[in-house]
Amino acid sequence: MGLMLVLAVACARTPERGGYRAAPGPGANPQLGDSAPHDWGGRHPYGHAVHGIDVSRWQGDIDWNRVRNAGISFAFIKATEGGDHYDPSFHRYWRETAAARIPRGAYHYYYFCRSGAEQAAWFIRQVPREIGSLPPVIDLEWTHSQTCPYRPSPQEIKQQASIFMDIVGRHYGQRPIIYTTVDFYRDNRLGDMRAEFWLRSTAGHPSERYPGQRWAFWQYTGTGIVPGIRGNTDLNAFAGTRADWVRWLQTRLTR
């Protein structure tokens, strides 16, 4: 099943023509656009061959076949938050992306007033362990929660996040990816954590915002336009070529 999925995503479909704004650059996927594009200069994301999205309940109903035909190669779906919240659209999106043959994974929004072990147990309760899924993701960023204004020390954050990653990694057989933001990465010196990184950087290339940090995914806009989705959507680029993507999937899909 995993190998079949790898082969399926390696084959590009001819995009459908639509009335969507073309990406403001020489994008590999000309149907993708941006309602408020950044002026990237020479370090833009549009030349990357592999692009994907991350979604939550706020995207509403999604036509996943149109999304796939527009050139989207992967999707990360919000599953859980803290130790007792889940995204009400997660299970539906999980089924629909599988039916559309889009590689997808689940992400957890980390909450600082619960232990890493509690949050790992909650994530495992909600997210199926399915062959062919992308690795799980832990979303580490500063929150503005009224119920949890606590800001732990960098040592505590990394210790508890590592507990989460160890438990979740053992369950799914793939160590989680860390998603983070520029300020959170800097404030907590996340570069010494053992993980692949998914970096948010909407106003500069990751090499400028995260000097020296290797990354697998780059979230380059929160105002992307994707056929099949109403409203703005986060867009992400994979670091390598399409051949690199296929090799990455062969290594990192759940088995």
| Residue pLDDT, tens place only, 44-87 | 999 899 999 999 999 999 999 999 999 999 999 999 999 999 99
Whether 121 and 164 have beta carbons less than 8 Å apart is answered as no
Whether 253 and 134 have beta carbons less than 8 Å apart is answered as yes
Task: Encode 132-172 in three state secondary structure.
Answer: CCCCCEEEECCCCCCCCCCCCCHHHHHHHHHHHHHHHHHHH
The predicted pLDDT at position 146 comes to 85
The predicted pLDDT at position 29 comes to 76
26 compared with 58, residue with greater pLDDT: 58
Amino acid at 240: G
pTM value? 0.91
Cα–Cα distances (Å) from 204 to 44, 217, 224, in that order, read: 8, 14, 16
The predicted pLDDT at position 21 comes to 41
Q: Does 54 qualify as catalytic in the annotation?
A: yes
Measured CA to CA, the distance from residue 32 to residue 72 in angstroms comes to 9
Amino acid at 80: T
The predicted pLDDT at position 57 comes to 97
Residue-by-residue DSSP string for 179-228? EE-HHHHHHHTGGGSSS-EEEE-SSS-HHHHSTT---SEEEEEEEEE-TT
> Maximum CA pair distance of the chain?
50
How much is the average pLDDT of 181-187?
A: 98
Cα–Cα distances (Å) from 140 to 1, 182, 191, 251, in that order, read: 31, 11, 13, 24
How much is the average pLDDT of 77-101?
A: 97
Measured CA to CA, the distance from residue 77 to residue 98 in angstroms comes to 12
Of 54, 87, 139, 234, which is the active-site residue?
54
Lowest mean pLDDT among 24-38, 138-152, 224-238: 24-38
Residue-by-residue DSSP string for 41-87? TT--STT-S-EEEEE-GGG-S--HHHHHHTTEEEEEEEEEETTTEE-
The predicted pLDDT at position 28 comes to 67
| Residue pLDDT, tens place only, 152-174 | 999 999 999 999 999 999 999 99
Nearest CA to 154 out of 179, 186, 176, 181 is that of 186
Of 63, 118, 141, 244, which is the active-site residue?
141
24 has pLDDT over 90: no
Please list the residues that pair with 106 across neighbouring strands. 77
Q: Does 63 qualify as catalytic in the annotation?
A: no
14 has pLDDT over 50: no
Amino acid at 147: T
132 has pLDDT over 90: yes
Q: Could you identify the residue written with the tokens 């799914």?
A: 172
Measured CA to CA, the distance from residue 16 to residue 227 in angstroms comes to 9
How much is the average pLDDT of 14-38?
A: 60
Cα–Cα distances (Å) from 223 to 154, 232, 234, in that order, read: 30, 5, 6
Q: β-pairing, 217-225 with 33-34?
A: antiparallel
The predicted pLDDT at position 232 comes to 95
Nearest CA to 33 out of 54, 14, 12, 19 is that of 19
